[in-house]
Amino acid sequence: MISNSWGSVRRTPGVYELTWSMGTGPAGRTAFEYGAEVRPGTPHVIWRRIGTHQILTGP
């Protein structure tokens, strides 16, 4: 079973996070923001951090 959730990062306007879990497999988290469109009509995602749940413990 795969589960995920997403929302905004506290005290960091415009930055969002996505978390996921794959049952007994590894769980992870990513932080991202939306940038200006590179291709018209297509959202531009800027990946800020990708990894385990500890990615948000530092600057």
DSSP designation for 35: E
Q: How many CA atoms lie within 13 A of 32 on its CB side?
A: 15
DSSP designation for 50: E
Segment 9-59, tens digit of pLDDT? 777 788 898 888 877 777 888 889 999 999 999 999 999 888 876 666 665
Full residue range of the structural domain in which residue 8 is found: 3-56
| Domain count for the chain | 1
Distance (Å) of CA 5 to CA 2, 28, 30, 39, 42:
11, 11, 11, 27, 22
Instruction: Report the predicted TM-score, pTM, of the whole model to 2 decimal places.
Output: 0.69
Distance (Å) of CA 58 to CA 4, 44, 53:
23, 25, 11
**CA distance linking residue 46 with residue 54, whole number of Å:** 19
